[in-house]
Amino acid sequence: MLRKPISFLLTALISAGAFHISQAASSKKTFTQIREEFTQATLFRFGESFSKARALPVKPKITQRHPASEWQVEEQSRSIERVDGFADAEREGAIERGMRFVYRTARSPANFADYGSDYVWWFAAISNTVRDERLRQMARDMAIACARRWLLTHRALPKDADADTIIDFVSGLDAIESLGLRDDQLKEEIRRAALRFTARDFLSFDPKGEPPPADVPDECKYDGANDNPRGAKFCHVCKRRLAMRTRYDVWYDALVTTHMGDHYGITLGAHYADVLRWLPALAPYRAKGRGTDVEFIDAVYSITHLVYTLNDFWTYRLDTQLLPQEHEFLKASLPKALAARDADMIGEIMDSLKSFGLDDSDPLINKGTLFLLAHQNRDGSWGDVHNNDVYERYHATETAINGLCEYTLRDERLSFPEVEPMLKRWARESTSLRN
């Protein structure tokens, strides 16, 4: 079946609210021709605001966490004592304001040049999973507008593309495929280019032969250099001492990357199951310190991203019995995140717990919802309004939105069903150890 021209399809998407694109067509066109029609269409102008309302990544970039007393926020002045009938409108209004904030940051050429594929992914993911149809439509409109702009600068893979560039292309194209677009020629080009790189190029370690390492340098906090080789203790640019990434951080970064690659159909150094097999090495998640401790933060994010990648980011309901330790760890971590006033972490824990079936009737989810509704900034964002790192600004807002959203979770299943026996075995072993 052939696909209709994109200019026609976009009109149909907006007028009918359909997400999946019809494949019937009267004549065949190359993807390049279709892309030209798509990117030159005037149906969506990236700078316009959306009056109607309806992923990568994906992983947060943790550079510095500030104690609650140091936060500079401009919160809405409202008191909410409980989540009940009136709060549905309150929740939807907060989500909409947050989505508009994220979209405003995406309108910046500089921001979009750095994080374009992430914007496309997140709006597309929200449009395919949230329960509220009005918010779904709003997210879909924004996703298509972002996809249009991203395609303008990603017509072909650069000949000198490195591993990070390939990951960026896969992230963007995987999201765009969820909008009904395909480019099989470019996909094959990326597949061939990916073969030039190793697992360590893509993931910083080879999960087929070693556990997540503790000798991967973090980005230099003095000059921003992020290309220091594994094992390096001093930055090759400024010669100052480097901090190391935690094992949790290295692991869940690889988990997200391989999930994305396997989902798109291109191997990025290893497969998802190769990385997942090291989950027991990270247990029992006894992170020290308070909610602002880096080790604790990375432990939490490793488990939230385990949930995301197992349920295809808010698509499927997860069986608590498959992840008993992880479920309990998330529940125990939410009070710490609330004490730290960390909207980013609160949102990730909440939407992960919702994947197990929890809702606002649960006291923990209720507290998280009340916190997020009461601590949204006047510009629609969450977090420190004076933070100059745009990624941290919009990512905290995205995750807060994710925590507030209610999802149309499908039946219990896994993104990759073949890993279920492995999860069941680990669950039995962890339960027997606790007993």
Residue 118: the pLDDT is 97
Residue 287: the pLDDT is 61
Whether residue 326 has pLDDT greater than 90:
yes
Q: Write the pLDDT tens digit of every residue in 52-91.
A: 222 344 444 433 333 333 344 454 444 444 555 446 889 9
| Phi, psi for 100 (deg, rounded to 5) | -65, -35
The amino acid present at 80, given as its one-letter code, is: I
pLDDT-based confidence at residue 11 (cuts at 50, 70, 90): very low
- Dump the DSSP string for 310-340: HTTTTTEEPPGGGSHHHHHHHHHHHHHHHHT
| Phi, psi for 410 (deg, rounded to 5) | -80, -175
Could you state, in order of their start, the residue ranges of all structural domains in the chain? 1-59+84-157, 289-435
* Selected residue with higher pLDDT from 44 and 320: 320
Name residue, tokens 């970064």. 253
Tell me what the pLDDT averaged over the chain comes to. Answer: 84
Closest by alpha carbon to 193, among 176, 169, 172, 173? 169
Whether residue 35 has pLDDT greater than 60:
no
Residue 116: the pLDDT is 97
Task: Write down the pTM of the prediction.
Answer: 0.83
Whether residue 12 has pLDDT greater than 80:
no
Q: Write the pLDDT tens digit of every residue in 135-147.
A: 999 999 999 999 9
Q: What's the Cα-to-Cα distance from 103 to each of 73, 152, 339, 381, rounded to whole Å?
A: 20, 18, 29, 11
For residues 371 and 82, the answer to whether their CB atoms sit within 8 Å is no
Name residue, tokens 């994220």. 102
For residues 217 and 228, the answer to whether their CB atoms sit within 8 Å is yes
Closest by alpha carbon to 49, among 96, 115, 104, 93? 104
For residues 142 and 155, the answer to whether their CB atoms sit within 8 Å is no
DSSP bridge partners of 403: none
| Cα–Cα distance measured from residue 151 to residue 116, given in angstroms and rounded to the nearest whole number | 10
Most confident of the following: 86-90, 118-122, 410-414: 118-122
| Phi, psi for 217 (deg, rounded to 5) | -65, 140
Q: Write the pLDDT tens digit of every residue in 238-261.
A: 999 999 999 999 999 999 999 999
Question: How many percent of the chain have pLDDT more than 90?
Answer: 73
| Cα–Cα distance measured from residue 163 to residue 13, given in angstroms and rounded to the nearest whole number | 34
| Cα–Cα distance measured from residue 301 to residue 209, given in angstroms and rounded to the nearest whole number | 24
Q: Write the pLDDT tens digit of every residue in 211-225.
A: 999 999 999 999 999
Whether residue 126 has pLDDT greater than 90:
yes
What is the pLDDT averaged over residues 277-305? 87
Residue 306: the pLDDT is 98
* Selected residue with higher pLDDT from 275 and 89: 275
* Selected residue with higher pLDDT from 357 and 289: 357
pLDDT-based confidence at residue 7 (cuts at 50, 70, 90): very low
Which helix (H) or strand (E) segment is 10 a member of?
A: helix 6-16
CA 190 to chain centre: 22
| Cα–Cα distance measured from residue 219 to residue 64, given in angstroms and rounded to the nearest whole number | 12
What is the pLDDT averaged over residues 320-338? 96
